[in-house]
Each structure stands twice: as structure tokens, then as C-alpha cells.
Amino acid sequence: MRITQGCFSFLPDLTDDQIESQVQYCLDNGWAVNLEFTDDPHPRNTFWEMWGLPMFDLKDAKGVLMELQACRKVYGDRYIRLSAFDASHGWESVRISFIVNRPQNEDGFRLERMEGRGREQRYTTRAYATDKPEGKRYS
């Protein structure tokens, strides 16, 4: 099941050229670009691991793309997302975030039912990937 989180996730995967122009848009707006990765695709998992530090003071998207390649080399079997932080007053938050790398197979989620008190039925979703310990989920 294809994960749909962040911008552009209903579109086909962005090519590197497309990623570059998105990043350039972010940099032109003066946002700091971050790279994050995870192997826990649950939508409630908002805190992904950071790849390096946020990249401040860049002028050209190529620098970000270089880091992305480096990150893919190490964590190419995981989800990698790119987010841009707007530090200007009044915003001070992430302005854009989109997935730039996915695992080969996205297994999706299992629906779990739990019997509650009386006839109550509670539901939760759990990624198949998280059955395995961290770091071995997509290899």
C-alpha cells in the first residue's frame, strides 16, 4: 500500500529534477531544508530521524541533492522525506514536506480489533513493517 503523507504523495514519485526545482523554490523563499528518514510508516509517527543538520544559508538546490544522494546510499531502503522550515516571524514552522524515497515494497497496514468493555469494539492499525525490529524492516 502506497503511503500518502505530505505534499505530492498522490502524484507519481518525483524525479530528481523535480525534487531539485521544489528545493530551489524552498531556498528562494529562504526556508531551511531538512532531510529525515524512518522505517516506521505509521501516519502518527511524526518524529523521523534527521539526516545531518538542517541546511541553512544554501543558495542552490544542488547541495541538498548531494545530501539526498548520500542519505539514499545509506538508507535507500527506508522512507526519506524532505521538509522546509520557515523561520520568519509569524510562521516559524514547517512549510512543505514531501517524501523523496520509498522502500521497494510497501506492505501497508493491518487492521487490529480489540474487544472492549461490553460489546465495544476498538480498532487500530499497525504497519506490517513494524513487526520486525527497527533497522531490519525493509531489508
Partner 1 sequence: MTSETGEAPAAPPARINLAEEFAQSGVGPVLQQLDDELIGLAPVKQRIREIAALLLVDRVRRKFGLTSQAPTLHMSFTGNPGTGKTTVAMRMAEILHKLGYVRRGHLVSVTRDDLVGQYIGHTAPKTKEVLKKAMGGVLFIDEAYYLYRQENERDYGQEAIEILLQVMENNRDDLVVILAGYADKMDRFFHSNPGFRSRVAHHIDFPDYNDADLLAIGEKMLAGLNYKLSPAAWQALAEYIAARRTQPHFANARSIRNALDRARLRQANRCFAMLDAELTIDQLMTIEAEDIRQSRVFQQQENGA
Question: For residue 92, how many C-alpha atoms fall within 13 Å in the half-sphere facing its CB?
Answer: 2
Sign of the C-alpha dihedral, residues 56, 58, 63, 68?
positive
Site string for partner 1, 18-57 (x = CB under 8 A): ----------------------------------x--x-x
51 to 90, contacts with partner 1 by CB under 8 A?
52, 55, 57-64, 66-67
Q: Quick one: 57 or 115, whose CB is closer to partner 1?
A: 57
Helix-helix angle 16-28:62-75, to 10 degrees: 130
3 state SS of 10: coil
Longest dimension (CA), the chain: 61
Between 28 and 134, whose beta carbon lies closer to partner 1?
28
Cβ-based nearer residue to partner 1, 17 or 115: 17
Could you list the residues that contact partner 1 (CB under 8 A)? 52, 55, 57-64, 66-67
